[in-house]
Amino acid sequence: MYELLPKLRQQDRAAQKEVYDVFAPKMLGVCRNYISDIHYAEDVMNKAFFKVFQNVGSFKSEGSFEGWIRRIMVNESLTFLRLNKSLIYLEEDKISDEPAEYEEDLDRIDAQELLDGLPESYRAVFNLYVLEDYSHKEIAEMLNITETTSKTQLFRAKKKLKDIILQKTRIQNEN
């Protein structure tokens, strides 16, 4: 993809289409991690690609181009959630640092379905921490919350995921 950068910087439509065709499926997945409605996720992805093409001149070729695009997708998804007031954080709780243990067989459970079962605020923190590898300090800054709230939301997301997994496992075992 680096060979397309000069053409992208010149706003070459064929180069833009090629980049879109290569990255759109994966980037839609990134947006869907944050936004449960597929139509909104597609809208956010397209808006983010517009920003990618508009700001490609600011990409300094340090790190991967895909990573740079991914960051724009994440930021655009978070902006969408903020504007639609989907990110509502509950009071901070005292949380345990014990890791959650999942002994259930997860092979039959769809990960996207699990993420869709989380409230938007839990999902945002979970994705940023687990999938994007941000620290709680970075998440707190990005979402304008405290580090403790970030940790609480992650704890609650893991608990909710465990509950969803247990429920789905019970239903599957009954059938």
CATH placement of domain 111-174: 1.10.10.10
CATH placement of domain 2-83: 1.10.1740.10
Tens digits of per-residue pLDDT, 134-166?
999 999 988 888 999 999 999 999 999 888 888
Tens digits of per-residue pLDDT, 12-63?
999 999 999 999 999 999 999 888 889 999 999 999 999 999 999 999 878 8
pLDDT at 98: 45
Tens digits of per-residue pLDDT, 90-109?
444 444 444 444 444 444 55
Q: Where are the domains of the chain?
A: 2-83, 111-174
Query: What average pLDDT does the chain have?
Result: 83
* Cβ partners under 8 Å of residue 1, min gap 6: 19, 22, 65, 66
Cα 2–64–53 angle (5° rounding)?
60
- Percent of the chain as helix, strand, coil, to the nearest 5: 70, 0, 30
CA 80 – CA 74 distance, rounded (Å) = 10
pLDDT at 20: 96
The answer to whether domain 2-83 and domain 111-174 are alike in fold is no
